[in-house]
Amino acid sequence: MESHENLLAGPPPTLLPDLPEAREALESGAKASDVAARFPAHPAAWATLADEYFAAGHAVTSYAFARTGYHRGLDQLRRAGWKGHGPVPWEHPANQGFLRCLHALARAAQSIGEKDEAERCFQFLKDSSPTAFDELTGQ
């Protein structure tokens, strides 16, 4: 019997690998800047920095941190088989750093008047994970 692939189904969800040492450092209260310096491929550290600086009124610095984490996350997504679209589930904890960076990038872009980029990033977030979009935007 032949097995046929469902051509109507979208791409499978992409699940990023866990970086336990980096995750545990953040969870134990290490400074996000120290975690990012030691584990620059860990998007959650960059997302935390972006959030901290945005909350302190430094949108441009937040934008820079978010963009760094976003690009590090894209690299990891591609290595995990992502082809430029498809689900990146919020429910998978290792994906949350990338999704938080994407949200932080959209938020900071909006704050500094980069309307088109903000809209693209918010749409990318919603397309990647409606759950993350709702969770992070409060919608």
Question: If pLDDT is split at 50, 70 and 90, which confidence band does 90 have?
Answer: very high
**Helix (H, G, I), strand (E, B), or coil: what is residue 115?**
helix
Q: Which H, E and C letters describe 11-65, residue by residue?
A: CCCCCCCCCHHHHHHHHCCCCHHHHHHHCCCCHHHHHHHHHHHHHCCCHHHHHHH
CA distance 46 to 56: 15
**CB atoms near residue 134 (< 10 Å):** 13
pTM value > 0.95: no
- Does residue 82 carry a pLDDT above 70? yes
For tokens 């900071």, what's the residue?
Answer: 108
Task: Give 28-69 pLDDT, tens digit per residue.
Answer: 999 999 999 999 999 999 999 999 999 999 999 999 999 999
Residue 19: partners with Cβ closer than 8 Å, 6 or more residues away = 39, 41, 42, 94
Task: Give 91-118 pLDDT, tens digit per residue.
Answer: 999 999 999 999 999 999 999 999 999 9
Residue whose C-alpha is closest to residue 32's, from 69, 67, 75: 69
